[in-house]
């Protein structure tokens, strides 16, 4: 079945097996291998992408269900010459080790910051209605869908906090 | 994953007709795809119901009507839910991850399948997956399995957090089928396993969930507490949704629903009744726990859940009946 | 001794004696600092290419099939039915397919036993199709019949128990010494099995070209992996090339060639087309090596002053029949505590569970949980502060073999760590409460044996004055790209970005590979030696000596002569460095030391444990890159959190299979389990006996003892002594009072 996807601002037409996940379309059909497969069951977060601006696990998505969708992947947020503030911060803070979960962490963080800006609470928020205060614990809870077996967690969160400060300053 | 025919639903009646004919509906797909990849479910026909809309949250009769396709994240973040039904918001936020909550839907969450490890392994005997094959969980590693509502054929636990809060809130499910529309108390949507654990709901053939109806917010304070093996992104060992009113030091209303321990989101009205009129304190919690847990059937690894649930009741009641911060 | 071949400038060093601290005399000033990884920009853009991602044309997809019996034989596989399914190209069984991955440094094929089945989950076939979806479906529906045999799966009751002679050690008279102690503890500890669970699943792409096999894989030790793969396929090593430029985590799980690599190679040869095989996450659990469960009995006795006089560390582990590996549980104990009367016993139960092998810090990772909790119990029994008890027991020489230590800063780590952590605020047992949470502090010593492995690297000074480092070493997230560029830059007077590091190609000079925390020091030493060769050659060209030559910022200086490096290079210079272990490892006890401090909160109602603060302080000789070294410490400490609180493979008691074989069931720590950590490195230490760069391993020291600090903190917080790890809520709450709502 043929579907159209807008990925990182570019239109793609792909003929897909009905069973193919969005993740495998990215990795196999479009050679966008920045999005990683760690578990294929929504248990690790390595495949996180933005679908219409929201973070999802691309492994738990049938490609055919997303005909016409607008998708952002790690390849779409920065370039070698002009890294995204999150990407810069991950490099500077050593917010990774092996690098395999990194694209997922970054895409998840990007959407998580938007969610917080929109006032979304988390399970550990003291108040469900107050403006979220993105403490280290708050970032941790909101990022817990992204596993990192190298366990770069402390520095991943430092990277996110640093990038957030820079992104806010730039506004 | 087995090959299937794929259709986008053109309307509610299309979805009804196809599901009556044996098709499987897919919305968020966060659990169904998981199961299809392992061939635990092998639908011949998959009907994508996302075109149906039903993604609105609207005030209705003093309560809320939550469309079947409202995403878990949107429901948890909705201002009226956060304000009036904090137990629901918390329950949703305690479940899965930010990514999954963005995709998973209200109806899909209700209809998700158990995470029993033996249900998930096609090389195991499982009466839920393969009726009549037996239950490897009974004498297996059943730490995550249920202790209430179980049978000698199945001890699977219902994994939802959201449904637990909704059951405590007396939510109803709006369904539409070939025989028209009806509402089912959410508690009654689920069947107990008995000798047919594969039959999980009371939906009739062709019936499609269109919404969850939340009654007007109850009086009293609300909480959702969840105990799990890691701090986040894990299923409950035990959880409780509690809504309790206190007047003059005595409990005047109580709703307690439990997750992680029941074959379905678990609520026991007799246990709640045991709280009514009681003075706030540990004795009240003991009274409710005694009633609730009298029916518990444990299978080795999950034996701790009974005592853990008792402690959760204490913790919830103390939080709900203590002085406000 | 150092041999220099002037013709080739190659330098070989056998580590027989202490080496001068030559790196301290270099002036570029780039070594040791917090330099960002050079490959970082690729990783954050998703542009670093992992095993399954290499663009190889005309790929077919292979999916492995597992055994669903514990022991017996594959009677028949319905190949014909599978071949009728859409897209299926081949169904292959038997032949070279592996029972389980090779053990680390095996350099030979692991067992190839088909049609026999030795454990539930063993790979028995690979299905190849034109697409992943077609291969997966055919694999899932493949009809297999078996002849089943009885099998034992419980290590406690196994009828075959081996007692390797070298691991049964008795010194003095333990029974008498133990009886005579002023204070004794006798405790039985258990740890559950663990798994590496690297985020990148095992994956291989195999392509044949005129009888030569090229494999893109996710592997840690390429020279061994080439030997293993060649042996498995019946090829000379010269016919095998492996690429692994980026490895998405290893932790021991990718030390040896694994079933997917041989399946890909076999299938590609059979169908005459490149094949990719990626293990499903469940298969990574089912058919790669686990860390064994352990049962450990610790008996400690001390005199009235807290001095340990008698010590017994007895353990039972398990493995599959035919695997020579057994977890060296008591390894750390030999480096930590003395006493005249000692007993070590080590039992290996043969069971038909998935094979056991090395997982991060084999030995110490689980042995020190029991040891360091038992020492805490002894301190409690003797009424002595646990830091103080450890300080009173610092050995002057290594307890085993009475060898002198090469460098041992355990005492300093304990004292400095205690001061930094605020150990003096530790209260008595169950004395601190914050709302519903009990709060407590715990300590444990850290030790991890240090090993140097033979390693070769080539360093080339290019005509433009830049440099290239080439070795088959891997970077599994450890920071190899960074530290090798720093060592070469420091030695050659260059900016690190002027050094290109080429790794992960088995055609390059053979290194130690990544494993056992020996990669950085072994491979780093080889790079150091190669640079020594280059420096000597440059000195010769400049008419001076290597000792007189100063290289800085691309300029060579000798006396009052200064020349740009590029001016003396002509067509470039190349040298090979070759390090070999020697006498120092027999003459000295060489290990990394440290101390862990943890503050935990235990929920009074539910027994949930949260780590609130954690500090690890480590002495590892020279620090090559503070940033990546600290990241390694964080990783180890967090693995400690996992093994203390949540990680546990659950084997079915009937058939031995791993029941929780996915990342929802096996709980590696997630973000919220982990607070900001304090990792402190003693930056002024050097280990002259370890290697010519005076650096020791750090990847595993951080886990060694970490879980014990948490276990001990749980005891201090709430008075519950957990002896069965992980300390999940059910192991704690039954012992906590709750019904007064206080």
Contact C392/B at CB under 8 A? no
Q: What percent of chain C has pLDDT over 70?
A: 99
- C210-225: average pLDDT: 98
Residues of C labelled catalytic: 700
Q: Name the residue with tokens 């409950």.
A: B236
Query: What whole-number distance in Å separates Cα of residue B304 and Cα of residue C83?
Result: 49
A38 to C200: CB separation less than 8 angstroms, yes or no? yes
pLDDT for res C3 = 42
C435 and C469 assigned to the same domain: no
C610 contacts in B (CB within 8 Å)? 231
A91 and A64 assigned to the same domain: no
Q: Where are the alpha helices (DSSP H) in chain B?
A: 12-20, 32-37, 72-77, 79-84, 86-94, 98-103, 106-111, 162-168, 186-189, 269-273, 282-293, 304-321
Token output for B73: 């994240």
* Residue B325 pLDDT > 50: no
Of B1, B34, B97, the CB nearest to A19: B1
pTM (two decimals):
0.98
Q: How far B82 CA lies from chain C's nearest CA (Å)?
A: 23
Helix (H, G, I), strand (E, B) or coil at B163: helix
Buried-state track C535-550, b at ≥16 Cβ within 10 A, e below 16: bbbbbebbebebeebb
The three-point CA angle C310-C313-C317 to 5° equals: 170
| CATH number of domain containing C466 | 3.30.365.10
Q: Which helix (H) or strand (E) holds C375?
A: helix C364-382
Look at chain A and report how many structural domains it folds into: 2
Number of residues that this document lists for chain C: 742
Beta carbons within 8 Å of B178's beta carbon, 6+ residues apart: B16, B20, B204, B205, B206, B207
C499-502, strands of its sheet edge to edge? C2-5, C10-15, C573-581, C455-461, C467-470, C499-502
A157 and A99 assigned to the same domain: yes
B37 to C610: CB separation less than 8 angstroms, yes or no? no
C569 and C637 assigned to the same domain: no
A31 and A90 assigned to the same domain: no
Q: How far C646 CA lies from chain B's nearest CA (Å)?
A: 6
A40 to C281: CB separation less than 8 angstroms, yes or no? yes
Contact A128/C at CB under 8 A? no
Buried-state track B209-232, b at ≥16 Cβ within 10 A, e below 16: bbbbbbeebbebbbbbbbbbbbbb
Q: Where are the alpha helices (DSSP H) in C257-343?
A: 259-271, 281-287, 333-336
The three-point CA angle B136-B141-B146 to 5° equals: 80
In a domain, C712, yes or no: yes
Query: What whole-number distance in Å separates Cα of residue C121 and Cα of residue C508?
Result: 35
Q: Which residues of A touch B (CB under 8 A)?
A: 1, 18-19, 21, 40-42, 45, 48, 51, 54-57, 60-62, 64-65, 108, 111-112, 115, 118-123, 128-129, 140-147
Per-chain mean pLDDT for chain B? 97
B46 contacts in A (CB within 8 Å)? 18
Query: What whole-number distance in Å separates Cα of residue B193 and Cα of residue B148?
Result: 11
C84 and C211 assigned to the same domain: yes
Per-chain mean pLDDT for chain C? 97
The three-point CA angle C408-C413-C415 to 5° equals: 125
pLDDT for res C4 = 42
In a domain, C340, yes or no: yes
Tell me the residue range of the domain where C675 lies.
291-451+587-741
Contact between residue C173 and residue C127 where contact means Cβ atoms under 8 Å apart: no
In a domain, C285, yes or no: no
Distance from the Cα of residue C149 to its chain's centroid: 35
C141 contacts in B (CB within 8 Å)? 2, 39
The domain boundary residue, chosen from C558, C581, C604? C581
Predicted confidence band at C5 (pLDDT cuts at 50, 70, 90)? very low
A118 and A149 assigned to the same domain: yes
CA end-to-end span of chain C: 69
The three-point CA angle A15-A16-A17 to 5° equals: 140
Reference A95, options A150, A45, A164, A138; nearest CA is A150
Contact between residue C480 and residue C503 where contact means Cβ atoms under 8 Å apart: yes
Of B36, B93, B102, the CB nearest to A121: B93
Beta carbons within 8 Å of C398's beta carbon, 6+ residues apart: C334, C335, C404, C405, C589
Contact C670/A at CB under 8 A? yes
Contact between residue A166 and residue A85 where contact means Cβ atoms under 8 Å apart: yes
Pairing of strands C212-217, C203-209: antiparallel
A107 and A135 assigned to the same domain: yes
Predicted confidence band at B191 (pLDDT cuts at 50, 70, 90)? very high
* Residue C7 pLDDT > 90: no
CA distances from C419 to C306, C413, C428, C705 (A): 21, 10, 18, 19
Helix (H, G, I), strand (E, B) or coil at C185: strand
Look at chain C and report how many structural domains it folds into: 3
C312 and C459 assigned to the same domain: no
CA distances from C367 to C481, C611, C714 (A): 32, 21, 19
pLDDT digits (tens, 9 = 90+) for C403-438: 999 999 999 999 999 999 999 999 999 999 999 999
Predicted confidence band at C1 (pLDDT cuts at 50, 70, 90)? very low
C239 and C307 assigned to the same domain: no
* Residue C117 pLDDT > 80: yes
Tell me the residue range of the domain where A113 lies.
85-170
Query: What whole-number distance in Å separates Cα of residue C315 and Cα of residue C190?
Result: 9
A36 to C47: CB separation less than 8 angstroms, yes or no? no
B230 contacts in C (CB within 8 Å)? 645-646, 667, 669-670, 672-673
In a domain, C561, yes or no: yes
A136 contacts in C (CB within 8 Å)? 675-676
Contact between residue C334 and residue C342 where contact means Cβ atoms under 8 Å apart: no
Tell me, letter by letter, the H, E, C secondary structure of C510-563.
CCCCCCCCCHHHHHHHHHHHHHHHHHHHHHHHCCCCCCCCEEECCEEEECCEEE
Half-sphere exposure of A91 toward its Cβ, with a 13 Å CA cutoff? 18
C89 and C219 assigned to the same domain: yes
Reference B114, options B25, B191, B218, B221; nearest CA is B191
Omega before residue C115 within 30° of 0, cis: yes
Helix (H, G, I), strand (E, B) or coil at C601: strand
pLDDT for res B324 = 58
CA distances from C192 to B290, C266, C290, C295 (A): 34, 35, 11, 9
Q: Which of A57, A61, A142, A148 to mutate to test the interface with B (most CBs of B within 10 A)?
A: A57
Predicted confidence band at C399 (pLDDT cuts at 50, 70, 90)? confident
In a domain, C194, yes or no: no
CA distances from A104 to B44, B289, C310, C503, C594 (A): 33, 43, 51, 25, 33
Query: What whole-number distance in Å separates Cα of residue C272 and Cα of residue C265?
Result: 10
Query: What whole-number distance in Å separates Cα of residue B147 and Cα of residue B168?
Result: 19
A89 and A166 assigned to the same domain: yes
A146 contacts in C (CB within 8 Å)? 671
* Residue B211 pLDDT > 80: yes
Contact between residue A29 and residue A22 where contact means Cβ atoms under 8 Å apart: no
pLDDT digits (tens, 9 = 90+) for B32-47: 999 999 999 999 999 9
B282 to C740: CB separation less than 8 angstroms, yes or no? yes
The domain boundary residue, chosen from A40, A57, A76? A76
- Numbers of helices and strands, H then E, in chain A: 5, 5
C237: left (phi over 0), alpha (psi -120 to 50) or beta: alpha
C94: left (phi over 0), alpha (psi -120 to 50) or beta: left
Token output for A61: 């998505």
Predicted confidence band at C402 (pLDDT cuts at 50, 70, 90)? confident
A106 and A138 assigned to the same domain: yes
Query: What whole-number distance in Å separates Cα of residue C249 and Cα of residue A38?
Result: 11
C68 contacts in B (CB within 8 Å)? 123
* Residue C128 pLDDT > 50: yes
In a domain, C508, yes or no: yes
C242 and C93 assigned to the same domain: yes
| CATH number of domain containing A28 | 3.10.20.30
A69 and A116 assigned to the same domain: no
CB atoms within 10 A of CB C476: 31
pLDDT for res B273 = 98
Contact A108/C at CB under 8 A? no
B227 to C740: CB separation less than 8 angstroms, yes or no? no
The domain boundary residue, chosen from A30, A52, A76? A76
pLDDT for res C741 = 83
Nearest CA in chain C to B321: C741
Token output for B56: 């609105």
Query: What whole-number distance in Å separates Cα of residue B87 and Cα of residue C710?
Result: 33
The domain boundary residue, chosen from C581, C613, C629? C581
A56 and A30 assigned to the same domain: yes
Helix (H, G, I), strand (E, B) or coil at A142: helix
Q: How far A56 CA lies from chain B's nearest CA (Å)?
A: 4
Nearest CA in chain A to C668: A149
A121 and A102 assigned to the same domain: yes
For B314, phi then psi, to 5°, come to -60, -45
Q: Is the dihedral of CA B95, B99, B105, B106 positive or negative?
A: positive
B86 contacts in A (CB within 8 Å)? 128
C550-552, strands of its sheet edge to edge? C550-552, C555-558, C561-564
C241 and C337 assigned to the same domain: no
The domain boundary residue, chosen from A49, A76, A103? A76
C425 and C457 assigned to the same domain: no
C646 to B229: CB separation less than 8 angstroms, yes or no? yes
C605 and C463 assigned to the same domain: no
The domain boundary residue, chosen from C515, C550, C581? C581
Predicted confidence band at C8 (pLDDT cuts at 50, 70, 90)? low
In a domain, C36, yes or no: no
C446 and C467 assigned to the same domain: no
- C131-153: average pLDDT: 98
C525 and C577 assigned to the same domain: yes
Q: What is the ipTM metric for this complex?
A: 0.99
C116-117, strands of its sheet edge to edge? C116-117, C72-77, C144-148
DSSP C557-591: EETTEEEEGGGGTTT-EEEEEEEEE-THHHHSB-E
Of A40, A98, A103, the CB nearest to C249: A98
CB atoms within 10 A of CB B133: 12
A160 and A102 assigned to the same domain: yes
Contact C193/B at CB under 8 A? no
Reference A45, options C659, B118, B102, C43; nearest CA is B102
In a domain, C245, yes or no: yes
Contact between residue C470 and residue C511 where contact means Cβ atoms under 8 Å apart: no
């Amino acid at each position: 079945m043929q579907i159209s996807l807008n990925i990182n601002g570019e239109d793609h037409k792909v003929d897909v097996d009905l069973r193919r996940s969005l993740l495998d379309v990215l990795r196999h059909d479009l050679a966008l291998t920045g999005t990683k497969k760690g578990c294929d069951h929504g248990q690790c977060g390595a495949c996180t992408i933005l679908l219409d601006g929201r973070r999802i696990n691309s492994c738990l998505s049938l490609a055919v269900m997303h005909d016409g969708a607008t998708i952002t992947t790690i390849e779409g947020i920065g370039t070698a010459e002009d890294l995204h503030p999150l990407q810069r911060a991950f490099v500077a803070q050593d917010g990774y080790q092996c690098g395999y979960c990194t694209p997922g962490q970054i895409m998840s963080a990007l959407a998580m910051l938007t969610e917080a800006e929109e006032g979304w609470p988390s399970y550990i928020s003291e108040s469900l209605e107050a403006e979220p205060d993105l403490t280290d614990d708050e970032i941790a809870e909101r990022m817990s869908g992204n596993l990192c077996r190298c366990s770069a967690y402390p520095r991943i969160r430092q990277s996110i906090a640093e990038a957030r400060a820079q992104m806010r300053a730039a506004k | 994953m087995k090959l299937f025919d794929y259709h986008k639903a053109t309307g509610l009646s299309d979805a009804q007709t196809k599901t009556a004919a044996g098709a499987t509906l897919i919305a968020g797909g966060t659990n169904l795809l998981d199961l299809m990849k392992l061939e635990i479910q092998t639908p011949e026909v998959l009907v994508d119901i996302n075109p149906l809309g039903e993604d609105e949250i609207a005030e209705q009769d003093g309560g809320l009507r939550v469309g079947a396709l409202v995403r878990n994240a949107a429901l948890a973040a909705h201002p009226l839910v956060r304000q009036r039904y904090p137990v629901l918001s918390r329950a949703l936020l305690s479940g899965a991850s930010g990514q999954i909550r963005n995709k998973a839907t209200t109806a899909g969450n209700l209809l998700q399948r158990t995470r029993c490890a033996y249900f998930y392994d096609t090389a195991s005997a499982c009466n839920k997956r393969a009726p009549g094959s037996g239950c490897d969980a009974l004498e297996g590693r059943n730490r995550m399995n249920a202790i209430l509502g179980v049978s000698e054929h199945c001890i699977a636990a219902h994994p939802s957090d959201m449904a637990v809060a909704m059951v405590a809130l007396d939510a109803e499910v709006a369904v539409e089928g070939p025989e028209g529309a009806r509402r089912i108390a959410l508690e009654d949507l689920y069947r107990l396993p008995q000798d047919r654990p594969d039959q999980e709901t009371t939906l009739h053939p062709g019936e499609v969930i269109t919404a969850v109806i939340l009654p007007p917010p109850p009086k009293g304070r609300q909480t959702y507490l969840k105990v799990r093996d890691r701090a986040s992104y894990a299923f409950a060992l035990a959880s409780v949704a509690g809504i309790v009113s206190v007047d003059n030091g005595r409990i005047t209303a109580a709703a307690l629903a439990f997750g992680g321990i029941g074959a379905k989101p678990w609520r026991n009205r007799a246990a709640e009744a045991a709280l009514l009129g009681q003075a706030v304190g540990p004795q009240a919690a003991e009274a409710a726990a005694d009633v609730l847990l009298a029916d518990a059937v444990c299978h080795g690894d999950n034996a701790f859940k009974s005592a853990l649930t008792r402690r959760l009741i204490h913790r919830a009641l103390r939080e709900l009946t203590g002085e406000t911060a | 001794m150092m041999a220099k071949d002037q013709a080739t400038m190659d330098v070989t060093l056998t580590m027989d004696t202490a080496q001068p601290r030559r790196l301290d005399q270099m002036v570029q000033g780039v070594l040791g600092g917090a330099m960002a990884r050079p490959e970082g920009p690729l990783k954050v853009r998703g542009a670093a290419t992992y095993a399954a991602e290499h663009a190889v044309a005309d790929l077919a997809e292979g999916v492995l099939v597992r055994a669903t019996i514990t022991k017996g034989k594959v009677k028949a596989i319905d190949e014909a039915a599978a071949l009728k399914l859409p897209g299926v190209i081949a169904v292959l069984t038997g032949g070279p397919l592996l029972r389980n991955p090779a053990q680390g440094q095996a350099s030979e094929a692991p067992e190839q036993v088909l049609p026999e089945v030795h454990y539930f989950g063993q790979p028995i076939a690979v299905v190849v199709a034109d697409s992943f979806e077609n291969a997966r479906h055919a694999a899932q529906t493949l009809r297999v019949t078996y002849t089943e045999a009885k099998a034992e799966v419980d290590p406690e009751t196994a009828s075959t128990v081996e007692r390797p002679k070298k691991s049964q050690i008795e010194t003095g008279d333990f029974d008498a010494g133990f009886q005579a102690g002023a204070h004794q503890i006798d405790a039985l500890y258990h740890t559950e099995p663990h798994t590496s669970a690297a985020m990148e699943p095992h994956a291989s792409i195999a392509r044949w070209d005129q009888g030569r096999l090229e494999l893109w894989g996710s592997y840690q030790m390429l020279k061994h992996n080439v030997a293993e793969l060649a042996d498995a396929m019946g090829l000379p090593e010269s016919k095998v090339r492996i690429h692994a430029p980026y490895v998405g985590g290893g932790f021991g799980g990718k030390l040896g060639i694994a079933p997917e690599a041989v399946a890909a190679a076999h299938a590609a040869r059979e169908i005459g087309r490149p094949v990719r095989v990626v293990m499903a996450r469940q298969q990574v659990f089912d058919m790669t090596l686990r860390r064994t469960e352990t049962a450990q009995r610790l008996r400690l006795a001390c005199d009235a002053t807290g001095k340990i006089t008698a010590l017994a560390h007895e353990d039972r582990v398990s493995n599959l029949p035919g695997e020579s590996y057994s977890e060296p549980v008591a390894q750390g104990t030999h480096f930590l505590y003395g006493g005249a009367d000692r007993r070590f016993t080590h039992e290996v139960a043969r069971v038909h569970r998935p094979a056991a092998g090395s997982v991060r810090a084999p030995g110490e990772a689980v042995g020190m949980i029991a040891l360091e909790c038992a020492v805490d119990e002894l301190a409690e029994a003797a009424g002595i502060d646990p830091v103080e008890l450890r300080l009173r027991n610092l050995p002057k020489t290594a307890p085993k073999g009475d060898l002198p230590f090469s460098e041992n800063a355990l005492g300093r780590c304990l004292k400095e760590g205690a001061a930094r952590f605020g150990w003096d605020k530790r209260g008595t047992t169950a004395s601190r409460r914050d709302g519903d949470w009990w709060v407590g502090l715990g300590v444990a010593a850290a030790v991890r044996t240090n090993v140097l492995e033979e390693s070769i690297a080539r360093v080339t000074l290019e005509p433009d004055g830049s440099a290239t480092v080439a070795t088959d070493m891997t970077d599994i997230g450890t920071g190899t790209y960074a530290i090798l560029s720093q060592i070469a830059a420091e030695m050659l007077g260059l900016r690190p970005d002027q050094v290109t590091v080429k790794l992960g190609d088995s055609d390059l000079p053979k290194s130690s590979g990544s494993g056992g925390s020996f990669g950085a020091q072994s491979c780093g030493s080889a790079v150091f030696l190669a640079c020594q060769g280059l420096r000597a050659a440059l000195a010769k060209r400049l008419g001076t000596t290597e000792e007189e030559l100063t290289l800085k910022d691309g300029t060579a200086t000798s006396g009052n002569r200064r020349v740009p490096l590029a001016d003396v290079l002509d067509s470039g210079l190349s040298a090979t460095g070759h390090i070999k272990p020697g006498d120092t490892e027999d003459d000295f006890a060489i290990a990394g030391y440290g101390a862990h401090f943890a503050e935990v909160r235990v929920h009074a109602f539910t027994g949930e444990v949260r780590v609130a603060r954690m500090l690890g302080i480590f002495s590892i000789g020279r620090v090559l890159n503070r940033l990546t070294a600290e990241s390694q410490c964080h990783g180890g400490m967090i693995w400690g959190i996992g093994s203390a609180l949540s990680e546990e493979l659950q084997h079915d008691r009937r058939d031995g299979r791993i029941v929780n074989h996915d990342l929802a069931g096996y709980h590696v720590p997630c973000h919220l389990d982990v607070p900001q950590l304090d990792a402190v490195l003693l930056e002024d230490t050097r280990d002259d006996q370890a290697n010519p760069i005076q650096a020791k391993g750090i990847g595993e020291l951080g886990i060694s003892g970490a879980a014990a600090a948490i276990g001990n903190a749980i005891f201090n917080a709430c008075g519950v002594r957990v002896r069965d790890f992980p300390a999940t809520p059910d192991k704690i709450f039954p012992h906590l009072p709750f019904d007064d709502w206080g």
